[in-house]
Every structure is written in C-alpha cells, then in structure tokens.
Structure 1
Amino acid sequence: MKDFFYGIQDLFVNTLFAPFDALRELELTNWFGANIMSWIFMAIGSVAFVYWMLELKKYNDNNEEDKSVSAHSYL
C-alpha cells in the first residue's frame, strides 16, 4: 500500500507539477512570465464577471424578477 501512495506522489511531483516548476525557474528573469497562470485565471474571472453582470442586467431590464416584499419566505 505504501508503494501506491509513493506512486501518486511521483505522478504529481515529477509529472503534473513539472510545468509549475519551470515557471518558478522563470521567475528570476521575467516576473510576468512566471505569473502567467495567475494572469490567465484573472482574465477568465474577469470575463465571467462581465458576462454574469450583463445577464443580470438583461433580466433586470425585462422585469422578470418578483421584487415584492413577500417574494421570498425568509424576508
């Protein structure tokens, strides 16, 4: 059973995290290149935020939401 967990460790440390180790090496020469994954995730989050706000505006402009006081039982 111990070999099974060592196999999982080897898979993640030596294979799946190898690109991140390469990015860590790049940090000494180029800060933006080393943080490329963070930039990608921030771009995806920004696009998702803008999309969600536009969808909320679309529903708000169509008056599809019940805004009465008794619309929700917890109010």
Structure 2
Amino acid sequence: MTAFFNGIQALFVDFLFVPLDFLRSLELRNWFGANILNWVFMLICAVAIVYWIMQLREHKANNDEFQDTTAHSFLK
C-alpha cells in the first residue's frame, strides 16, 4: 500500500507540478510572467461576465423575463 501512495507522490511531484515549479522560480525574475495563469483566468471571467450582461439586456429588451413578486404562495 505504501508503494501506491509513493507512486501518487512521484506522479504529482515529478510530473504534474513541474510547470508550477517553473512559474514559482519565474516570479523572482518577472512577476507578470509568473502570474500569466491568473491573468488568463481573469480574462476568461471578464469575457463571461460581459456575455452574461449582454444576454440579460437582450432578455430585458424582449420582455422575456417574468418578474412576479408573488411567485411563492407565502409572498401573497
């Protein structure tokens, strides 16, 4: 059973975390380069938010939304 967990450790330490170790060492030389992954995720989120707001405006312009405050019986 120990060999199984040692194998998992070797997989992560020797293979899967190598790009993150590179980014960690890059931080001392170039902060923006080391945080490129964060910048990519922020860009994806910004695009998704803009798309979402555009869809909300489109639905509001077409009066597709049903905004009834008495949607639940206890609000009557």
Structure-2-length-normalised TM-score = 0.87
Q: Percent identity?
A: 53
How far residue 69 of structure 1 moved from its aligned partner, in angstroms, is 2.2
SS in 2 for 1:13: helix
Q: Which moved more, 1:20-29 or 1:61-70?
A: 61-70
Write out the 4+ residue segments of structure 1 that deviate beyond 2 Å after TM superposition. Answer: none
Could you tell me which residue of structure 2 aligns to residue 25 of structure 1?
A: 25
Number of aligned residue pairs:
74
How far residue 68 of structure 1 moved from its aligned partner, in angstroms, is 2.2
How far residue 9 of structure 1 moved from its aligned partner, in angstroms, is 1.5
Structure-1-length-normalised TM-score = 0.88
Matched, 1:64 2:64: yes
What is the root-mean-square deviation in Å for CA atoms of aligned residues?
Answer: 1.3
Distance in 1 (alpha carbons) for counterparts of 2:36 and 2:59: 35
Distance in 1 (alpha carbons) for counterparts of 2:5 and 2:57: 50
SS in 1 for 2:64: coil
AA matched with 2:61: D
Q: Which runs of 5+ in 1 are unaligned?
A: none
AA matched with 2:15: T
AA matched with 1:26: L
Distance in 2 (alpha carbons) for counterparts of 1:49 and 1:29: 32
Q: Which runs of 5+ in 2 are unaligned?
A: none
